[in-house]
């Protein structure tokens, strides 16, 4: 668009150098809220640690590299992390079993189904309470699946799929129904069993590791 493109692969200074895209430093997490708010957390910590009100305001409104000592609006470029030719980043890639990966894929597909239905709603089609509950459930699902991609199955995930299965199955307790097939309780019920299995499997593995470790 601006006529500034340069073919990096054709530049002899970067020959055979592996490109590693990402943040510096990397987030090292797939957990939803960690990914979304890790920078905000760092900003808040810097805000409270920085002395004087004017400097605190600069932390909020100046560049992320600004500090009171250099007082350069966007930070001193010389203090950026050094990247040397030949360096390779270690990507965040926790070990996840095939079964856990398949489980996470299924949950993302089910969440996408509910989200697609939710995005195509007409105004006032459902009550405010049900709409807010759905929003919370979608974020809960994304957060839970993100944690599972770290190789961890939580009790909150078991609770999530069990409650969802109950909602789709029990029309008497939950009279306001979403226009989604009631049969959706089946994959969520099976997910409850799978989540319990994954939790027990992880607990058993941790116990075995503890026994192997020398006292």
pTM higher than the cut 0.75 = no
More confident of the two residues 46 and 74:
46
- Going by the DSSP 8-state scheme, the letter that residue 75 receives in this structure is B
Would you state the pLDDT for residue 85? 57
Structure tokens at 41: 């957390």
Task: Work out the average pLDDT over 58-78.
Answer: 81
Burial class (CB in 10 A: 0-12, 13-18, 19+), 114: middle
User: Which residues does 50 contact at the CB level (< 8 Å), separation at least 6?
Assistant: 56, 59, 68
* DSSP SS3 for 204: helix
Would you state the pLDDT for residue 19? 66
pLDDT surpasses 50 at 84: yes
Q: Per residue in 92-108, is it b (16+ CB within 10 Å) or e — as a string?
A: eeeebeeebeebbebbe
* Cβ 59 vs Cβ 50: under 8 Å: yes
Domain borders along the chain are: 18-79, 98-206
More confident of the two residues 73 and 101:
101
Phi, psi of 65 (to 5 degrees): -95, 5
* Cβ 204 vs Cβ 191: under 8 Å: no
Taking only the tens place, the pLDDT of each residue in 7-53 is: 766 666 666 666 666 666 778 888 888 888 888 898 899 899 998 89
Q: Which residue has the tokens 């070990």?
A: 95
Instruction: Report the first-to-last Cα separation within the chain, whole angstroms.
Output: 64
Q: State how far the Cα of 41 lies from the Cα of 168, in Å rounded to an integer.
A: 37
Q: State how far the Cα of 93 lies from the Cα of 134, in Å rounded to an integer.
A: 31
């Amino acid at each position: 668009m601006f006529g500034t493109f340069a073919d990096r692969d054709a530049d002899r200074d970067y020959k055979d150098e592996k490109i590693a895209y990402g943040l510096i430093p990397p987030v090292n997490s797939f957990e939803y809220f960690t990914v979304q708010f890790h920078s905000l957390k760092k900003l808040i910590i810097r805000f409270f640690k920085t002395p004087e009100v004017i400097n605190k305001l600069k932390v909020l409104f100046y560049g992320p590299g600004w500090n009171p000592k250099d007082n350069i609006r966007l930070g001193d470029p010389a203090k950026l992390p050094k990247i040397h030719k030949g360096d390779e980043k270690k990507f965040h890639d926790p070990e996840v079993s095939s079964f856990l990966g398949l489980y996470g894929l299924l949950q993302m597909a089910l969440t996408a189904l509910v989200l697609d239905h939710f995005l195509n709603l007409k105004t006032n089609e459902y009550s405010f309470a049900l709409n807010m509950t759905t929003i919370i459930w979608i974020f809960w699902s994304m957060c839970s699946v993100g944690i599972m991609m770290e190789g961890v199955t939580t009790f909150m995930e078991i609770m999530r799929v069990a409650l969802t299965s109950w909602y789709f199955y029990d029309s008497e307790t939950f009279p306001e129904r979403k226009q989604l097939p009631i049969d959706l309780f089946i994959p969520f019920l099976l997910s409850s069993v799978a989540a319990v299995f994954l939790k027990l499997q992880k607990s058993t593995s941790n116990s075995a590791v503890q026994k192997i470790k020398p006292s």
